[in-house]
C-alpha cells in the first residue's frame, strides 16, 4: 500500500511540474532525486529480496519508513502548491548584474583548492577534516563557477575547457560522482530553458542522457581504481559487477534508505528520544567554533550521528559514515511533527523561489541551479550544518562572480519563458 501511495504522490507532483517545466524545474529536480532514493531504491531491495546493510537487518523498519516518506512528500507538495499559487510574479528588478571581469582568478583559486584536497587524500589517505573541509566546499564552488560562465555566454576560451576537463578528472579521482552529475544537469537546464523543443533537440538530449548514464556507470565501476590512482585497473566496459546489472549497480549506490530504515527501527524499538534540533541547529554554531574552545579540545558529539551509528549495532556500520535524507533528519529532530513542519516549509520556500525567479535573466537561472545543488546534498546527506556551510560558499561564489548596478524601478522584466 505504501508504494502505491508514494507512487501516487510522485505522479501528482509530476502533474504539477509538467504544466510549466521551466518554472517548475527546481521541484522537478527535487522530485526526481526523492523518487530515486525513496521509491526506486526500496523497490530494488524488494526485487532482490535483500534487507541487510552494513551488518544490520532493516526489514522490520521498511514499511514504517516508507510511511514517513509518504508524509514528507505529501506536505512538500502541499507547501509548494500553496506557495506557488499565492506568490506574486516578480516583474520589476532594481538591479542589473553582469559577470565580474576577475572571475578567472576565483575559478583558478577554487581549482587549486580541489588539487590540495587530492594531494592530502593521496599523501595521508584521509578525506576532509579541519581546513580541508573548507577546501572541499571551494572545490564544490567550481560547479557553480562553470555554470555561471556558461550561462553568461563567456565559456569560449581554451583555458576554460582545459580547466573543466581537469576538474572533472579531479572529481573522478575523489569519487565525486554527484558533482559531475550536478554540473551536467546545470548545463542541460540552461539549454532546455533557452532552446526551443524540436526533434533534433530531443535526439540530442537522448544522446546526452546515454552519455551521462555511461559516465555514472564508469565512475561507479572504477571508483576504487580512480581514488587509489591504480589506472591499470580501470575498465571502460559497462559490465555486471558483483552479480548486479548496471541499473542495479546504480540503485545499490542509493542506499541511504537502508540506513534510514535501520534508524527508524532502532528509535522505535528502543524508545530513543528525539534530539529536538540539536544536530540541525546547535551544531551550525559548534561547527564554526574552534575545538580549543571545548573541553579537552574536543567538540560535542552529534546526536544524529550517534543515533545512526548505534542503529547498525555492528562495527562495520559504526565506522561506515552512513548518512540519511533530510526527511529522516527531521524525524530524528522532532519526530513526525518535524517531517510535517519542515517539509511544508521547504515546499513553501521552493514554491516562492520558483515563482519569483525571472528565468530570462542568466543570474536567475544560476540561483535555481545553486539551490538545486544544496537540495541534492540535503536530500542525500541530510545534515543541515554541513549544507548551510555549502550554501554560504555558493553564495560567496555568486557574490564574487557577479557585479551589480542598480537601475531605475521602471525597468521591467517579463516572464516570457
299 versus 195: which is more confidently predicted?
299
| Other Cβ atoms closer than 10 A to 201 | 13
> Distance of alpha carbon 378 from its chain centroid, rounded?
6
- Is residue 414, in this structure, part of any structural domain at all? no
Q: Please report whether residue 412 resides in a domain.
A: no
CA separation, residue 97 to residues 94, 100, 392, 402 (Å): 10, 9, 20, 6
Kind plus residue range of the DSSP H or E element containing 383? none
Mean pLDDT of 73-92: 91
At residue 238 the predicted structure's pLDDT band, cuts being 50, 70 and 90, is low
Strands 56-57 and 402-406: unpaired
H helices present in 271-325, as ranges: 283-288, 303-312, 315-318
Question: In the predicted model, is pLDDT for residue 340 greater than 80?
Answer: yes
Residue 415 pLDDT level (bands cut at 50, 70, 90):
very low
pLDDT of residue 246: 55
76-85, 118-127, 337-346, 386-395, range with the lowest pLDDT: 118-127
pLDDT at 339 exceeding the cut of 60: yes
Residue 412 clears pLDDT 50, i.e. is over it: no
pLDDT surpassing 60 at residue 128:
no
- On the question of pLDDT at 253 being above 70, the answer is no
Based on its alpha-carbon atoms, the radius of gyration of the chain, rounded to whole angstroms, reads 22
CA–CA separation, 147 and 353 (whole Å) = 19
Residue 252: per-residue pLDDT: 62
Q: In the structure, what pLDDT confidence band is assigned to residue 371 with cuts at 50, 70 and 90?
A: very high
In a domain, 91, yes or no: yes
Rounded CA gap, 251 and 247, in Å?
A: 6
Mean pLDDT of 319-329: 91
Better-predicted residue by pLDDT, 304 or 118: 304
Confidence check: pLDDT of 241 > 60? no
What is the reported pLDDT for 416?
39
Cβ burial 239-260 (10 Å sphere, 16+ → b, else e): eeeeeeebeebbbbebbbbbbb
Q: If you search the block for the grid coordinates 505504501, which residue do you land on?
A: 2
Q: Is residue 142 part of a domain?
A: yes
All three cell numbers of 291 = 575545538
Nine-digit cell at 100?
Answer: 565580474
Give the position of cell 539551490. 371
**Rounded distance, CA 284 to CA 266, Å?**
26
Cell numbers standing for residue 254: 542509493
Is residue 361 in a domain?
A: yes
Does any domain span residue 413? no
Report the domain count for the chain. 1
All three cell numbers of 386, joined, read: 554541513
How is residue 233 annotated by DSSP? Answer: G
Mean pLDDT of 277-306: 90
Mean of the pLDDT values across residues 163-176?
83
Task: Tell me which of 129-138, 148-157, 173-182, 364-373 is least confident.
Answer: 129-138
Assess whether pLDDT exceeds 70 at residue 251: no
Separation of first and last alpha carbons in the chain: 39
In a domain, residue 79? The reply is yes
184 domain-assigned: yes
On the CB side of 312, CA atoms within 13 Å amount to 22
More confident residue, 186 or 199: 186
Cα–Cα distance between 15 and 364 in angstroms, integer? 24
- Maximum distance among all alpha carbons in the chain? 65
What cell numbers appear for 182 in the block?
Answer: 550536478
At residue 303 the predicted structure's pLDDT band, cuts being 50, 70 and 90, is very high
pLDDT of residue 411: 45
Which residues make Cβ contacts (< 8 Å) with residue 176, sequence separation at least 6? none
- What pLDDT is stored for residue 229 in this prediction? 64
pLDDT score at 338: 97
What's the pLDDT score for residue 186? 85
State pTM to two decimals.
0.85
pLDDT in tens, 138-152: 888 999 999 999 999
Cell output for 59: 526489514
pLDDT of residue 183: 85
Among 152, 147, 163, 161, which residue's Cα sits nearest to residue 100?
A: 152
> In Å, what is the CA distance from 178 to each residue of 1, 181, 188, 243, 347?
32, 5, 15, 24, 23
What pLDDT shows up at residue 217?
65
Domain of 162, in residue numbers:
2-406
Amino acid at each position: 500500500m505504501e508504494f502505491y501511495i508514494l507512487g501516487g504522490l510522485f505522479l501528482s507532483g509530476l502533474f504539477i511540474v509538467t504544466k510549466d517545466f521551466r518554472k517548475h524545474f527546481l521541484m522537478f529536480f527535487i522530485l526526481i532525486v526523492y523518487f530515486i532514493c525513496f521509491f526506486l531504491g526500496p523497490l530494488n531491495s524488494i526485487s532482490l529480496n535483500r534487507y541487510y546493510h552494513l551488518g544490520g537487518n532493516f526489514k522490520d523498519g521498511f514499511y514504517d519508513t516508507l510511511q514517513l516518506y509518504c508524509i514528507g512528500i505529501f506536505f512538500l507538495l502541499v507547501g509548494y502548491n500553496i506557495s506557488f499559487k499565492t506568490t506574486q510574479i516578480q516583474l520589476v528588478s532594481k538591479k542589473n548584474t553582469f559577470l565580474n571581469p576577475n572571475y578567472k582568478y576565483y575559478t583558478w583559486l577554487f581549482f587549486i583548492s580541489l588539487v590540495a584536497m587530492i594531494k592530502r587524500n593521496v599523501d595521508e589517505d584521509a578525506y576532509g577534516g579541519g581546513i580541508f573541509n573548507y577546501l572541499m566546499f571551494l572545490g564544490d564552488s567550481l560547479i557553480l563557477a562553470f555554470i555561471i560562465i556558461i550561462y553568461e555566454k563567456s565559456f569560449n576560451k581554451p583555458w576554460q575547457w582545459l580547466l573543466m576537463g581537469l576538474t572533472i578528472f579531479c572529481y573522478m579521482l575523489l569519487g565525486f560522482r554527484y558533482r559531475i552529475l550536478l554540473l551536467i544537469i546545470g548545463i542541460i537546464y540552461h539549454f532546455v530553458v533557452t532552446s526551443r523543443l524540436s526533434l533534433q533537440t530531443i535526439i540530442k538530449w537522448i544522446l546526452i542522457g546515454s552519455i551521462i548514464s555511461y559516465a555514472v556507470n564508469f565512475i561507479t565501476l572504477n571508483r576504487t581504481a580512480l581514488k587509489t590512482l591504480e589506472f591499470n585497473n580501470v575498465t571502460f566496459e559497462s559490465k555486471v559487477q558483483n552479480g548486479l546489472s548496471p541499473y542495479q549497480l546504480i540503485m545499490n549506490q542509493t542506499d541511504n534508505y537502508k540506513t534510514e530504515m535501520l534508524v527508524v527501527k532502532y528509535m522505535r524499538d528502543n524508545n530513543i528520544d528525539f534530539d529536538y534540533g540539536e544536530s540541525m541547529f546547535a551544531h551550525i554554531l559548534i561547527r564554526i567554533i574552534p575545538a580549543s574552545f571545548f573541553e579537552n579540545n574536543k567538540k560535542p558529539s552529534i546526536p544524529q550521528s550517534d543515533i545512526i551509528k548505534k542503529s547498525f549495532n555492528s562495527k562495520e556500520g559504526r565506522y561506515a559514515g552512513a548518512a540519511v535524507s533530510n526527511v529522516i533528519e527531521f524525524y530524528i529532530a522532532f519526530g513526525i511533527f518535524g517531517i510535517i513542519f519542515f517539509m511544508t516549509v521547504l515546499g513553501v520556500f521552493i514554491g516562492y523561489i520558483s515563482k519569483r525567479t525571472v528565468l530570462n535573466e542568466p543570474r536567475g537561472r544560476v540561483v535555481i541551479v545553486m539551490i538545486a545543488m544544496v537540495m541534492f546534498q540535503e536530500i542525500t546527506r541530510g545534515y543541515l550544518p554541513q549544507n548551510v556551510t555549502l550554501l554560504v560558499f555558493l553564495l560567496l561564489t555568486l557574490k564574487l562572480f557577479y557585479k551589480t548596478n542598480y537601475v531605475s524601478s521602471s525597468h521591467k522584466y517579463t516572464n516570457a519563458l
